[in-house]
């Protein structure tokens, strides 16, 4: 089911950790961002768009993690953009003969059968200096930053006051650092600073997973995520409900502990 969150911006929420797919209405059709998780969800979304008379004219993937690079044939054959780094990362994955097995290892077992892999990762890289998605609709600014995953990008639709945050600024997930990067903590803090820099223009924040929030939520989430990362940097224990005894996802405190161990071993 599509829910309107701003003028010409709709969200479809998946059962799998509240993954949000975003639809932005343009002049001749829609831009579809992080299209979804399961085959049925994507087919339903394609049907909803068809009923609205709104074909998909372009896609965008916020970052090269499996849950953000899926696609279904019913959306049609259109350019699926991402940053140059995102596309590079996907090219590298797909060039490996055992890529399907590697992806299968990290899929949630309860959904694995329902996740279509055949169109995974065909991302068209935007030129490295690109600041916008090339499409016929409201201007969508690409805010690339190094946090969570290589080539991660948030999108700002200024005229609609919407920030699409990718896997940043979630109310249910704590920051997942890019532990393959040289400076994951500094990168994350820089990325939050970058998002804070556009916060004045935002009235709706859409995270890759979790609830859509307003302007106050945006500020609160930036503060909350910054506090978490700073505590990690300083070797303390975060007072963060997302990884405490009342965590909204019961497996999350374990991931937090794992993240701590990984950082300690660097
Ligand atoms: Zn994700």
Q: What is the mean pLDDT of residues 62-71?
A: 98
Taking a C-beta distance cutoff of 8 angstroms, is the pair 168, 148 a contact?
yes
Distance from Cα 187 to the centre of ligand 1, integer Å: 18
Nearest C-alpha neighbor of 147 from the set 214, 239, 83, 102 = 83
Q: Provide CB contacts within 8 A for 250, sequence distance 6+.
A: none
Mean pLDDT of the chain: 96
- pLDDT at residue 88 tops 90: yes
Of all residues in the chain, the percent with pLDDT exceeding 70 is 100
User: Which residue matches tokens 């209405």?
Assistant: 25
What pLDDT, in 10s, does the model give residues 122-172?
999 999 889 999 999 999 999 999 999 999 999 999 999 999 999 999 999
The pTM (predicted TM-score) of the whole model is 0.96
Taking a C-beta distance cutoff of 8 angstroms, is the pair 160, 6 a contact?
yes
Distance from Cα 98 to the centre of ligand 1, integer Å: 22
End-to-end CA distance of the chain: 44
Using 50, 70 and 90 to split pLDDT, how confident is the model at 1?
A: confident
Distance from Cα 127 to the centre of ligand 1, integer Å: 24
Residue 58 dihedral angles phi and psi, to the nearest 5°: -160, 155
Distances (CA, A) of 166 to 20, 137, 162, 245: 9, 20, 12, 26
Residue 84 dihedral angles phi and psi, to the nearest 5°: -60, -40
Q: What is the mean pLDDT of residues 199-226?
A: 98
């Amino acid at each position: 089911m599509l829910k309107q969150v701003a003028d010409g911006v709709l969200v479809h929420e998946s059962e799998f950790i509240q993954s949000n797919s975003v639809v932005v209405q343009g002049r001749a059709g829609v831009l579809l961002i992080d299209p979804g998780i399961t085959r049925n969800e994507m087919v339903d979304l394609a049907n909803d768009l068809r009923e609205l008379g709104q074909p998909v004219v372009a896609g965008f993937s916020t970052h090269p993690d499996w849950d953000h690079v899926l696609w279904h044939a019913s959306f049609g054959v259109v350019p699926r953009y991402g940053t140059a780094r995102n596309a590079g990362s996907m090219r590298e994955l797909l060039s490996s003969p055992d890529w399907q097995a590697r992806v299968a290892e990290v899929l949630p077992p309860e959904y694995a059968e329902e996740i279509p892999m055949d169109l995974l990762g065909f991302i068209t890289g935007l030129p490295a200096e690109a600041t916008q998605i090339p499409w016929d609709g409201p201007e969508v600014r690409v805010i690339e930053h190094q946090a969570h995953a290589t080539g991660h990008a948030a999108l700002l639709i200024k005229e609609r006051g919407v920030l699409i945050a990718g896997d940043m600024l979630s109310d249910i997930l704590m920051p997942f650092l890019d532990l393959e990067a040289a400076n994951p903590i500094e990168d994350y803090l820089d990325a939050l600073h970058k998002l804070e820099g556009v916060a004045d223009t935002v009235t709706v924040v859409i995270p890759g997973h979790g609830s859509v929030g307003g302007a106050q939520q945006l500020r609160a989430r930036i503060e909350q995520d910054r506090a978490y990362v700073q505590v990690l940097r300083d070797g303390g224990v975060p007072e963060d409900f997302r990884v405490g005894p009342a965590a909204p996802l019961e497996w999350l405190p374990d991931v937090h502990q794992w993240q701590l161990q990984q950082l300690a071993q660097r």
